[in-house]
Structures are given as C-alpha cells and as structure tokens.
Amino acid sequence: MPFSHHSHSGQFCPSHARNTLEEMIQTAIARKMQVFALTEHIPREEQDFYPGEREAHTTVERLHELIDGFYEHAVQMRQKYADQIQILIGFEGEWIRPSTLTLIKELQARHNFDYFVGSVHHVYTIPIDYDKATYDEVKKLVGGSDEELFGEYFDAQYAMLQKLKPQVVGHFDLIRLFSADPNGSFKQWEDVWEKIIRNLKFIASYGGIVELNSSALRKGMSEPYPQVEICQEFLAMNGQFTLSDDSHGVEQVGLNYDRVLDAIRKAGIQQICFLERQGEEPRDGFGALPTAAISLSQLESHPFFSTAPAEA
C-alpha cells in the first residue's frame, strides 16, 4: 500500500510548492497510492518569514488565511475522492521559538486535524535548509563546524519531541542537506551520535513513527531521510517507520520510492506502518490516528511500482 504522510501544494504553500491540492490528489490516485496525507506548513510569526515571503509582502494574517482555507478545501477534497483514495488532513509543524507551541495549539483548537508531522527547520531561529549561505550563517554562529551545528539541531529536535510528541517525525536528519558531506556517517562524531540515539529512544518511548522521506534523494543524497545507519538503530528499539514523499508538486508524488525500497532492504526493515482514519470523531490533544502495517513483501509487490515516476 504505497502512501505518503507528508505533502505540500502550491495552492496553499505558494512560496515554494506548485500545483493545486486537487492535482496532487489526482496524481496520487493515478499512481495507485491508497493513502495520501495533506500537510501544509503552519503559520509563522513575521520575524520568521523567509526572504521570498518578505519580497511577496506576505503577512501573518495571510498565512493564517491560507491554513484555514487549506483545511476547509482539504475536507471537500476528502469527500470528493473518498471512494478512490484515503485522504488524511494534517499539517507540518515547526520548532522555531517557544511561541511556536502556542501557534500549534491554537491551530489544532480551530480544526480537527487528523495528526501532524513534527519537523525542525531552524537552529537559533535561522532556517538550516533554505540555502547554503543561510546554513553557513548559522554554522558560524554555533562555532563554525558541521559537528557543532548538527549537535544544536538534534538538541532543538529533542526539545520539539518533548513538547509535542508528534505522531510522525519529519525528515529526521534534515540537517545534513547543506553540510560539507551530506552522505557522511553521523557516527564520526560521538556527541552527535549520542544525541541521535537519545532522540530515537524518546520517539520509541511514546510510540512515534519516523518517516522514510524520499525528498533527500531528489536533492542529491544517496539515502532518504533518515540515513540507513539511523534506521538500523531505531529498528533495534522496535521503532516504527512510514513512507513520505514530501512532495511539493505533482512530479514529486511517489518520486524515488523504488530507491527508498532499497534503503528499507539495506536497513533490514520488515514492515512499514501507515495511518488510518476512522470516522469523524474529534480527537484530544494534537490528534492521533490508529496505525496499521504491511510487510516488505506486500509493499514490493504493489502495482504502484509499475506507475512510479522516474528519477527527477
């Protein structure tokens, strides 16, 4: 049952995505996906706007209008395509500053989201995945080395995990994107590796799910997020994994899932989880869905792989 628990559309994430929400859903259906999650970004405070948003004269009010409009439209799309695909409606959280927690609580209070993806894109309130220059800026602030910045990133992630306990943890090792060696082993730095193990243990302790995020592959890395060595550690803790394409346009829906399968095999993962939606009842807290799982052999034999897009 190929699925994705993390996606964005140009309709509601206009700064760096393409295509409408409906086009994303139609593409997932055409590629024989059976579960597709819609997870637009939460609003941010003005001080945390990206350069492109500032140039486009984005406002905090506009970001709130987008997320509210997204939820309403997503519910309509879920109803329209209910007999063809299971649509999950969530959001991708951030962890920028303490007020982020308030933003997420307010958002969940307004809408009955199914779940959310817990992600970290910032260290010291500066984005680490926007471009190389910005990455180098924050690296200089923490001391000038990738090792020091990696440590700060996993500390920020740990704080996010403790406060939010997200059901799905997004792109666990995103920090390697603009580093000097994006494919290098984290084990070369003992302190960093200890923080990774600490975070994985905490995720396992509350039953969180780590997404195998294929976007790392389209960005030039040799393995998805997280790297195989991290997956093996989480697997030893009886941790659960799911699939995500983190798509930002129709051409990225299910992209490189064949290569994610290679990483799954290499890590020794024998089953993949997915979330299921059951009814319309409201959920307490940040939302939590029941999980199901399929075996690796079931995943490998699914007809999705006859329609999967080639490397982009």
Residue 115: partners with Cβ closer than 8 Å, 6 or more residues away = 88, 90, 166, 167, 168, 275, 286, 287, 288, 289
User: Is residue 21 one of the residues assigned to a domain?
Assistant: yes
Distances from the Cα of 32 to the Cαs of 75, 212, 268, 296, in angstroms? 21, 19, 25, 17
Q: Is residue 311 domain-resident?
A: no
d(CA 209, CA 204): 8
Residue 30 inside a domain? The answer is yes
Range of the domain at 243: 3-306
pLDDT of the residue at 33: 94
Is there a domain that residue 204 lies in?
yes
Query: Residue 105 falls within a domain, yes or no?
Result: yes
pLDDT reported for residue 94? 87
Q: How far is CA 137 from CA 48, 145, 177, 178, in A?
A: 15, 11, 15, 12
Cα–Cα dist 310/262, whole Å: 15
pTM for this entry: 0.94
pLDDT of residue 278: 76
Q: What is the pLDDT of residue 308?
A: 65
Please tell me the least confidently modeled range out of 6-10, 101-105, 286-290, 302-306: 286-290
Residue 289 predicted with pLDDT over 70: yes
Residue carrying structure tokens 């995103």: 174
Rounded CA separation 97/79 (Å):
36
- Point out which residues pair with 294 in neighbouring strands: 272
- Does 239 map to a domain? yes
Question: CATH code at 7?
Answer: 3.20.20.140
User: Has residue 312 been placed in a domain?
Assistant: no
pLDDT tens-place string over residues 189-235: 999 999 999 999 999 999 999 999 999 999 999 999 999 999 999 99
Say if strands 271-275 and 291-295 run parallel, antiparallel, or are unpaired. antiparallel
CA-nearest of 294, 292, 293, 285 to 116 is 285
- Percentage of the chain beyond pLDDT 90 is 80
Looking at per-residue confidence, does 295 or 289 come out higher? 295
The pLDDT > 70 percentage for the chain reads 94
Chain segment 100-140, per-residue pLDDT in tens: 999 998 998 899 999 999 999 999 999 999 999 999 999 99
Residue 1 has pLDDT above 70, yes or no: no
Identify the H or E element spanning 90: strand 86-93
Count of structural domains within the chain: 1
Q: Is residue 109 part of a domain?
A: yes
Supply the mean pLDDT for the chain: 92
